[in-house]
Structures are given as C-alpha cells and as structure tokens.
Chains A and B, each alone.
Chain A
C-alpha cells in the first residue's frame, strides 16, 4: 500500500549526508562523526550542525514527507536533493546518479529536466503574469514558445486558474499564487517534485483544498514527490512514507500508521497524541486473526480501510463486528466495534496525560 509503483529510476537515496554551516565545515565533519553534539560543536567551534548522518530511501512514484519543527533542518535537507545547498559530506543519488558529484553544467541540466520545485513563499516572478510564470521552466529549457504556452495552459487549467492567465501575482490571493507555483512546477514535467512547505503559508481551509489538489494530481502523474511540512496532520494525510527530523537527525521513518502506532520516542509520541488516529490507522493493524471464517455476521471490509471509514460502515450496517478481507475477498481477520473504538483513542489519555506511551 505504501510503496506505490516503485520505479527505481526516480527513486532518491540519501546516504550519510552531513551539512555543517561555517567556514571550516569540512574539518568539523569528523568531530561530528566521532559523536560531538550540535550544542558542543556550536560552543567549541562556532559551527552550526545542519544535518547529521541522514540516510533516507525515497521510493519512486510516491509522496515522501519530511516532517520537523522549525530549525530541524528539513528545508536544508530538501535543498540537497537539487543541490541548492552543497552538502559537507555524503551522497544524494537520484536515478543512479550522485547529484553531489555533478559539474555545474550537468547540475543545471539535472535541475531543468529531473526536478521541479514549489516554494513556501511562492517565489513567483512579480513582473510576469500567470502564463509567463508558468512557462518559466520550459523557457529556461529553450522549448519553442508555442509548446511552452500549450503545456502551461493545460496546467493552469488543471490547477483551476483558467481565466487568470493574464493576471499578475500581486493581483492573486495566496492560495491562487501557490496554484501558479504548482502549475509552474508541473509544467516542467519533471519526474521529481520538491515541495518546500508548499502549503504552510496558506490558511487552513485553502491548505486542505490544496492537499486535495495534490493528492488528486498524484493519482495521475505518479511523480516522486518530496514534501516538507511542520504539520503532522498534513504529513499523515499526504505521505506514503514519512521521515521525522529533529535537530538535523532523522528520528523515525515509516508509514503514517507506523508512526502513529509505534512512535520511536517520547518526542514523536507527544506529537502523535493529538492526531486523529481513526483517519490514519488501518483495520488490519488492529484486527485479531480470523478464526476459520466462523463469523457470518461480520461485515466484510477490505484491508487498507481506515478505522474512521470502517466505523462509519459498521454504524450504517448496524453491526458490531467486521471481517477484514484481502484483495481476493478472503477474510484475514476480525475486528469488534469495541476494539475499533479503543484503537481510535490515544493510549496516552488513559494514563492521564503524562509523557505518553513510553517504551
């Protein structure tokens, strides 16, 4: 379920990536590798540890979310994928090629054809109208103007901006401006889409709206999307896989369900506590093994259904037990209404707040 259509050509592998900010960064890498902490490095050498030993596999064709609070290094990390920031050490392998080792010409070609980026502050060209902004990537590539416009118009329409082609960015609302940013990135038709807090500057309703736009689009375009956010709900909603970053280190990687059900430490657990678990956890994660198809009264529900949807189905059908079925319709487990409801309540609440489910 999580790794949709893994296509290795567009997969991104990050290996032993370090980023240290400061004039003598290269010398400090070894200190960090020997175990010096971020605070220690800053105090003794005046260098800032941006990223520490990042190892991430992003399968091709899926949405990979990197979540972290401000200062966690998430925006630094995404800028390593198209090398807007040079790493201090490590490899970023995209489709078998190490981005870190590319010369300026190859890097430019890589950015033109392999990646497209959407920015938190939109970063549109203020002197160009919507159409001329959308063609930017194609213009840089040197495509004929007619083709640029044809492609751009298709994406402008797809993101719902028809009729605004001649408007300038400062005449549009934030949500509309980010639609232009999205259209500009999609028009490039690059296999990798980098989204740096793309929806963070939008208000909640428009953000939900844009998330839906992205999920809808992703069903047809199947790009490798790297999505940065500080919002766990957004991460859980969008991400096929999620990595959580803190102080420049990855502290947990996995599917949304992994993170909600098995938070790696108290830090993540305290985040996860506030999450609507019913929307994230799927029935097969909390079911009991089926006892030889004995349960005739159970409502069949396909694996992969979220607890929310399952509960709704049960309530509508007026039953109190469901049978989880696999792709061929064979029951693989059963789940009673009572267990379902228990799973939807965060375990931390039962113990009266506290530090959450430690261990």
Chain B
C-alpha cells in the first residue's frame, strides 16, 4: 500500500489519509462479501508510489528553488518591509490624541457626516480604554499597507482586464483560486520562501484581499455607458484621455466598492496572518485559542469588528458621495 518507511517518514502528514482509505475498503469488503465490486467502492486512484514520487519531486523542486532564489526574492521584497516598518512606526509612535484627530479628519473628509466621525472616535476610545490600542494600531498599519498594495497592483490589472475579453477569461479563474484556496495552503510556500515575519504575512493577506479590487475595477470600467464613450471617441479622445476623463471617473464608485471589499477581506485575514508572525490584534486571539482565554478572544475580536465597521462606513460613505452626480436622470 505505502512506500517504504524511509520514504514515508518526511511525508508523515499524508499517512492518516492513507489509513482512512484502507479502513473504508476493509469495511466495504465485509458488507459486499467479495472483491468483485472493489473498483466501484474504492476509487481507482493513481498508483501510490507514483503519487508519492510526484509530491516528493514537486516539494524537492520547490525546496531547491527556495535555496537558490530565497535570498534574492527576499531582497526583492525589501522595500515592502521598509514600507511596513515605517507605517507601523508611525501608527504606534505617534501620540494617541493625534491619531484620533487624524482618524476624525479623514472620516469627515470622506463621509461629511458627524455621526460617522463620532462613532469612529468613540470606537477607538473604547479600544484604547480596554488596553488594545497598540495592537489595534499595528493592525491598522498592516491593513493600510495591504490596501495600498492591493490598489497599486489591482487597479492596473483591472484596467487591462477590462480592455481584453481574452485576458478576462484568463484572469477570472486565477482570482477564483486565490479567493477559495484555503489561506493556510498558500502560507506554506510563502513561509518556505520568506520565512516567518511581516512580509510573508502581507503577501498572504494581499493574495486573499486583492481579487475584489481587480474584479470591481474590471466591472466598473466595463459598465461605463457606451453612449458616453462613443461621444468621447467622436471628439477625438486618445485611449489615455478616455481612461482619464471618462472610464475612471465613471467607474470610481464601483472601484470604491472594490476597495471597501479589499479592506474587509484583509481584516478577515488578520488572525491567520498572525500565525506567521504578523503582529496586531490577531496574536492575542491566537493566544486565546491556544489557552482557552474566552474574554481575551472576545475583546480582541470585538476590536477587529470595531475597526472593520469604521473602515466600512467611511469608505462606503465616500463611495456614495462620489455617486452623487453619476446617475443619469432623464426628463
């Protein structure tokens, strides 16, 4: 059934799986009373040895790749590391009243609503009062960098995707994989390549959070009124002028919805990212899981909910304000 013990040892993770299958087969044998129907009850799978060899070869290949290029890939992500550290230093190093003021000002500029500003400030005050200020700042810093990175990468990809149906057919399944693949799975190669730390965490979060940014940019640009585009063409607009004057402004509310989704998904990844060394509100939650500290978990969980609501309300209110003149009114 299995390869020799010397082969199986490094892949001990798959062993329970193999045992389970064997157990099932035995039970079936009893009930059916014979091996005639064996291929029906047991899926005729690939030869175990071949499968093992396949997994081993891929793993070995990736390990070699890591050894050969790990350092240069790490160097490639150096600027991200710098960006992350600077952002975190700013968030944790700045006196809390100033941070509160900045949050209030941004909320006001984006939403023009005192209700949203007040709820943002109160939420942050409560978080601080329950001694979670430092972790919250680290999380916000992380989310900020993730969002910026997602916009910088996602916007151009979405724009290019909107221009080519073929590219859309190609990119969409990749985005599906990024969103549905359990995040632990792509944490493995990231950690193998870059070790434990902020940058691998950032990459894991961005992989998970960038699809809505790309999708909604693409959608927003594709939904731009054809008549208006035709008018832009009729006046001799170049491709860039069309993008700048017509497509981007008209797609902006949809793109804002994409940014909103990206932020929400990045927040959802905070706890998972903390498993590979990202600091912030995720780590106390992780500690709470390991030690069954109910209250610690709930407090930090509520803090995540709190900043999620702030981000959501502020960015949605901004998106709505952008839409003010965009609906076409006939009459």
Contacts and interface: CB of A to CB of B under 8 A. Distances in A.
Interface stretch (A30-38, A109-117, A226-234, A301-309): A109-117
Nearest to B234: A117
A108 B236 contact: yes
Interface in B110-149: none
A170 B328 contact: yes
A178 B76 CA distance: 54
Given A124-B228, A173-B331, 19 more contacts: A82-B234, A84-B233, A84-B234, A108-B236, A108-B237, A116-B235, A124-B231, A125-B228, A125-B249, A126-B328, A127-B250, A127-B325, A127-B326, A136-B235, A140-B236, A168-B325, A169-B328, A171-B329, A174-B330
B231 A119 contact: yes
B245 interface: yes
Interface string A160-174: 000000001111011
Interface of A: 82, 84, 108-113, 115-117, 119, 121, 123-127, 136-137, 139-141, 168-171, 173-174, 188, 194
B233 to A, nearest CB: 6
Contacts of B291: none
Given A111-B235, A111-B236, A117-B235, A170 B228 contact: no
Given A84-B230, A121-B227, A123-B228, A170 B235 contact: no
A204 B282 CA distance: 66
Interface of B: 225, 227-228, 230-238, 241, 245-246, 249-250, 325-331
Contacts of B238: 108, 140
29 contacts: A84-B234, A110-B236, A111-B233, A112-B236, A116-B234, A116-B235, A117-B231, A119-B227, A123-B227, A123-B228, A123-B231, A124-B228, A125-B249, A126-B326, A126-B327, A127-B249, A127-B250, A127-B325, A127-B326, A136-B232, A136-B245, A140-B237, A140-B241, A140-B245, A141-B236, A168-B325, A169-B325, A170-B325, A171-B329
Contact of A140 (B225, B235, B328): B235
A171 B330 CA distance: 10
Contacts of A137: 235-236
B236 to A, nearest CB: 3
Top-8 shortest CB links A-B: A112-B236, A111-B236, A123-B231, A170-B329, A117-B234, A123-B227, A168-B325, A137-B235
A258 to B, nearest CB: 31
Contacts of B233: 84, 111
A122 to B, nearest CB: 8
A137 B237 CA distance: 8
Given A136-B235, A140-B236, A188-B235, A123 B230 contact: yes
Contact of B235 (A112, A127, A168, A173): A112
A126 B325 contact: yes
A110 B232 CA distance: 14
| Residue from A108, A112, A171 whose CB has the most chain B CB atoms within 10 Å | A108
Contacts of B236: 108-113, 137, 140-141
Contacts of B331: 173-174
Contacts of B245: 125, 136, 139-140
Contacts of A168: 325
Contacts of B231: 117, 119, 123-124
